[in-house]
Amino acid sequence: MSQRHEAARPARPRLKPLPEEQWDPRTRELLAAAPHDPGGGIPNIFTTLVRHPDLYERFLPFGGLLLAGGRLPGEVRELLILRTAWNTGARYEWGRHLPLARAAGVTDAEIDRIGEGPEAPGWTDLQRHLISAADELHEDATMSDATWEGLAGHFGDAELIEVVMLVGQYQMVAFFLNATGVELEPGFDSTGFPEGNGSG
């Protein structure tokens, strides 16, 4: 992370979750459809984003499709999301997706080496191409022939499209989280995410 990016990060939330006493009937209806945590709480990302209800209403189905209804295997999806969280310094995104990644079969050893990039020893060929894809899309807004062809050896056209859209979606989400300063809820940690890699 560059010093310029670090300096731009808010020290405290710029936008706080909308307090329940300010929820109008439409807000209640929108948030009722949001994924809830085991204790019944609604994640801060949703109670903050709902401050723009029209955008929220259209965002949720698209994000939900990529997260729960996409064609990519869960461990593939979560590796891409965690590397995107790492690349963008999105601590909230990292912390929320650690349990999802573990549930999808991503091992602690794999989580530990996400920050080391695609050349870290231990990755399979597919995993190395996935990490490279997240990096190249983040840095260059495209993918090299070698990375595309490496992924095409494992996936069909629809899955290749989904890889690109997934990284783009979670990069956009990271922009929102980092710029507004959404705070990670109690009970979620950011294990493996280095100090100085963003507080969102």
Which among 161, 138, 152 is positioned nearest to 65, based on CA atoms?
161
| C-alpha distances out from residue 28 to 15, 24, 53, 57, 83, Å | 19, 6, 11, 12, 33
> What is the pLDDT at residue 5?
52
Helix, strand, coil percent content, the chain, rounded in steps of 5: 60, 0, 40
Q: How confident is the model at residue 200 (pLDDT cuts 50, 70, 90)?
A: very low
Tokens of 193: 């995410």
Parent domain of 189: 1-200
Amino acid 40 reads G
Question: For residue range 128-159, what is the model confidence (pLDDT) as tens digits?
Answer: 999 999 999 999 999 999 999 999 999 999 99
pLDDT at residue 3 tops 80: no
Residue labelled with tokens 């209804």: 69
* Greater pLDDT, 195 or 183: 183
Q: Residue 172's domain is classified under what CATH number? A: 1.20.1290.10
Question: Is the full-model pTM beyond 0.85?
Answer: yes
Total domains, the chain: 1
Question: What does pLDDT average to over the chain?
Answer: 93
